[in-house]
Amino acid sequence: MSKPNFAPLKLFITGPTYIRQDVKEAALLPEFGHRDTENELRFGPIRENLRKLAGCGADFEPILCLGSGSTAMETSVRSLVAEDETILNVSVGSFGDMYFNLAASNGKKAVNLKFDYGEAIDLNVLEDKLKEVRPQVVSFTHNETSTGVVNDVKAVCALVRQYGAMPIVDGVSIFGGSELALSESGAAMYSTATQKALGLPAGFGIGFVSGEAEEKARKVTNKGHHHDITKHLDRARKNQTLTTPNTTLANQMWFQLDRIVNEEGIENRFARHREMRSMVEKWVGGLDGFEMFAPEGHRSPTLSTVICPEGVTTAQLKGIVKEALRGEGYLMDPGYFKLNQLLEEAGRRPIFRVGHMGDITPAMLTEYLAKLEGELDKLR
């Protein structure tokens, strides 16, 4: 069998992300049985280090759902929204809409509050909607991957709780790249994944489940099997997964989380992400006609979105810039396609994204931005 010519690319997209060589090599650690004592040696430290990264203690139980971040999000919807309840989803972009679609496709009574692309959640607008809808559950996105907008989790959760609703949060593209302080956040369940800021391959959706959420989930019916957090919790307390895990990924996760917590250091990791956000802001400030898309104060530390000058099209970003950079060994992110399509249809300028999450370093980002600038200059 002939081997395909796979091109080695440096990923500056928003997921999957760059994986360090030592994390790749951790995949070669021995396989193990997921109900054997060897399992405890992996998932015990994994759950302990997840808590450290999240800023929580025994008040939240980490569960691992086989799949991706949307698997954990769907688990939160199916386990925490009863059949006679209403879930209000608050969307600031395409992935915020996903939470709404997950609820609707599972037959939940769902209402979607949409903010314009590039905006963060306006608490005054949200409060008016809470008064109108009176939902039992509210879902929203911590870090919107399509727009690079980050929301204030603590402030949104506090407002949601003023109206007696339970907040559930999508943190897929920021967890592991920024402070969370989950115990103080007000969230009932927080969902994330391995393939973004944790710098791991895709394969696990991660859910942090509060005691409040567990209590409610035990009363909700028709949760299915894999989306039943009570079943996940029964296994998680034994440091196990509900069904057979990807043991290769588990080995990598054990290694990577230990490296993050005990070698790089959590605060150092978060500071590195903030530094790279500042680097992109400064870089964009020096480009004629380009602007940051997300508003100041709500810009993601894990990815940046940049508005192109008049006359630059999505087709140019995808065809000219992306392919040129691919030839130099980089995978560029020309913007979330659905979002750019909507922006162009509305007569607005398209955006591109710069992923700087996980184990991307300032030195790597500096090199990439120089290459990217060279290609963007050719469009003007």
Short-list 256, 292, 245, 288, CA closest to 379: 288
Q: Quick one: pLDDT band at residue 360, thresholds 50, 70, 90?
A: very high
Largest CA distance in the chain: 64
- Mean pLDDT of the 273-278 span: 98
Residue 274 has pLDDT above 90, yes or no: yes
Write the DSSP string, 197-215: TT---SEEEEEEEEHHHHH
Give the fold, CATH level 3, of 10-14+267-377.
Aspartate Aminotransferase, domain 1 (3.90.1150)
- Mean pLDDT of the 71-99 span: 96
- Mean pLDDT of the 1-6 span: 77
CA within 13 Å, CB half, 375? 20
pLDDT of residue 4: 80
- Mean pLDDT of the 279-291 span: 97
Residue 3 has pLDDT above 80, yes or no: no
pLDDT of residue 214: 98
Residue 143 has pLDDT above 90, yes or no: yes
- On whether the CB atoms of residues 275 and 54 are closer than 8 A, the answer is no
- On whether the CB atoms of residues 334 and 321 are closer than 8 A, the answer is yes
Residue 342 has pLDDT above 80, yes or no: yes
pLDDT of residue 320: 87
Placement of tokens 């709500």 in the chain: 298
Percent of the chain with pLDDT over 90: 95
pLDDT of residue 231: 98
Contacts (Cβ under 8 Å, ≥6 apart) of 230: 79, 214, 217, 218, 223
Q: Where are the domains of the chain?
A: 10-14+267-377, 21-263
- Mean pLDDT of the 66-82 span: 97
pLDDT of residue 327: 92
Residue 59 has pLDDT above 80, yes or no: yes
Residue-wise pLDDT for 321-334, tens only, equals 899 999 999 999 99
pLDDT of residue 323: 93
d(CA 206, CA 68): 8
Residue 127 has pLDDT above 90, yes or no: yes
Residue 62 has pLDDT above 80, yes or no: yes
Residue 299 has pLDDT above 80, yes or no: yes
Residue-wise pLDDT for 191-234, tens only, equals 999 999 999 999 999 999 999 999 999 999 999 999 999 999 99
Residue 6 has pLDDT above 90, yes or no: no
Mean pLDDT check: name the lowest of 73-87, 200-214, 308-322, 351-365: 308-322
With H, G, I as helix, E, B as strand and everything else as coil, classify residue 158.
helix
- Mean pLDDT of the 257-277 span: 98
Taking each helix axis from N to C terminus, what angle separates 266-285 and 362-377, rounded to the nearest 10 degrees? 20
- Mean pLDDT of the 21-30 span: 97
Q: Quick one: pLDDT band at residue 379, thresholds 50, 70, 90?
A: confident
Taking each helix axis from N to C terminus, what angle separates 153-162 and 123-133, rounded to the nearest 10 degrees? 30
Residue 380 has pLDDT above 90, yes or no: no
- Mean pLDDT of the 121-139 span: 98
Percent of the chain with pLDDT over 70: 99
Topology match between the domains 10-14+267-377 and 21-263? no
> Mean of the per-residue pLDDT values for the chain?
96
- Mean pLDDT of the 41-60 span: 97
- Mean pLDDT of the 38-56 span: 97
Residue 1 has pLDDT above 80, yes or no: no
CATH of 21-263, one of 3.40.640.10, 3.30.70.3420, 3.10.20.30, 3.20.20.70: 3.40.640.10
- Mean pLDDT of the 106-112 span: 97
